[in-house]
């Protein structure tokens, strides 16, 4: 059993945090371009299916955030831990079109309330995946894009989880 001595975790990446103020749409995964995690930026591919943001994409292509389906009843749901697991490569997914969602804060800079949200679109590295969210622009401007329709709602917890307001 886990004991929390100072602060409980803020949440799990991909979890919608304020349901009454959010719009979540059902979409279809593009099996040719699978997601590696929940709570990452997503776009619509040329075939009309949802894809993760890719290297070189622009902020205008970010149409939402991949929502974690919970509770789940599909194959593997009994063995995956809350906060773990990889999204399926095909089938139905959920896209946060507007609202509040937990994401993993990547990079060394801390998020602040109403601070800018950047999405990594180049030079992926350990802890900085393409499509991940960051609180500061990369030293090379082409590696991150500013989402003008998103802000952080506060600092990250000890695990790097924080909430963003997207398209509000």
Range of the domain at 62: 19-166
The answer to the question of residue 155 being in a domain is yes
The answer to the question of residue 13 being in a domain is no
Q: How far apart are CA 108 and CA 127, in angstroms?
A: 10
pLDDT tens digits, 103-128: 999 988 888 999 999 999 999 998 89
The answer to the question of residue 4 being in a domain is no
The answer to the question of residue 77 being in a domain is yes
Q: What's residue 107's pLDDT?
A: 87
Residues 6+ apart with CB under 8 A from 4: none
Q: Is residue 131 within 8 Å of residue 52, measured between CB atoms?
A: yes
The answer to the question of residue 10 being in a domain is no
Tally of domains within the chain: 1
Query: Of 135, 138, 126, whose CA–CA distance to 154 is shortest?
Result: 135
The answer to the question of residue 104 being in a domain is yes
């Amino acid at each position: 059993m886990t004991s929390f001595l100072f602060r409980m975790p803020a949440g799990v990446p991909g979890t919608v945090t304020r349901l009454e103020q959010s719009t979540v749409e059902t979409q279809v995964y593009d099996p040719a371009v699978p997601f590696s995690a929940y709570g990452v930026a997503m776009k619509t591919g040329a075939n009309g299916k949802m894809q993760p943001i890719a290297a070189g994409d622009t902020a205008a292509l970010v149409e939402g955030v991949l929502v974690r389906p919970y509770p789940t009843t599909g194959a593997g749901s009994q063995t995956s831990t809350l906060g773990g697991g990889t999204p399926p490569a095909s089938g139905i997914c959920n896209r946060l079109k507007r609202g509040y969602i937990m994401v993993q804060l990547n990079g060394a800079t801390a998020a602040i309330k109403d601070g800018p949200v950047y999405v990594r679109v180049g030079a992926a590295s350990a802890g900085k995946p393409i499509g991940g969210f960051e609180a500061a622009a990369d030293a090379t401007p082409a590696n991150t894009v500013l989402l003008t329709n998103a802000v952080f709602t506060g600092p990250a917890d000890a695990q790097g989880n924080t909430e963003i307001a997207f398209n509000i």
